[in-house]
Amino acid sequence: MALVAYLFKQKPMKYIYEIQKIMSSKNLMLVYEGEFTQEITKSVLSMAERNLETKGEEMTIKRKVFNVMVECLQNICKHADSHDNEHEKEAVFMIGKEDNNYIITSGNFISNDNVESLKEKLDHINSLDKEGLKNLYKELIKNNELSDRGGAGLGFVDIARKSGSKLEYDFERINDNISFFSFKTSIPITKE
Amino acid sequence: MQILQLEGTEDTPRIFLDKSKNIFEISGRSLPEDAAEFYKPIIQWLSDYAKDPNPSTELIIKLEYFNTASSKLILDVLSKLEEIKNSKVIWYYYEEDEDMKEAGEEFSELVDVPFEYKTY
Q: How far is B44 from chain A (nearest CA, A)?
A: 17
C-alpha distance across the termini of chain B, in Å: 31
List CB contacts of B93: < 8 A, sequence separation 6 or more.
B100, B101, B104, B117, B118, B119, B120
Q: Which pLDDT value is given to residue B112?
A: 97
What is the average per-residue pLDDT within B37-48?
Answer: 97
Q: Which CATH number fits domain A2-188: 3.30.565.10, 3.40.50.1100, 3.20.20.150, 2.60.120.10?
A: 3.30.565.10
Taking residues A88-94, what's their average pLDDT? 90
Name the pLDDT band for A3 (thresholds 50, 70, 90): low
Model confidence at A8, pLDDT cuts 50, 70, 90, reads low
Domain spans of chain A, in order of start = 2-188
Q: pLDDT over 70 for what percent of chain A?
A: 89
Mean pLDDT of chain A: 88
User: Is the per-residue pLDDT at B64 higher than 50?
Assistant: yes
Distance of CA B37 to the CA centre of its chain: 15
Q: Per residue in A28-38, pLDDT tens? A: 999 999 999 88
**Helices B68-81 + B98-110 axis angle, to 10:** 50
Pick from A81-90, A183-192, B97-106: least confident: A81-90
Q: Where are the domains of chain B?
A: 4-119
Distance CA A106, CA A36 (A): 12
Q: Alpha-carbon torsion B94, B95, B98, B104, what sign?
A: positive
What mean pLDDT do residues A106-127 have?
A: 94
Q: Any chain B CB within 8 A of the CB of A41?
A: yes
B65 contacts A70? CB cut-off 8 A: yes
Write out pLDDT tens, residues A146-171: 554 445 589 999 999 999 999 999 99
- Please check the confidence at residue A7 and state whether its pLDDT lies above 80: no
Query: B23 CA to chain A: closest CA distance, Å?
Result: 27
Closest partner CB to A70 (pick from B67, B76, B106): B67
* φ, ψ (nearest 5 deg) of residue B8: -70, 150
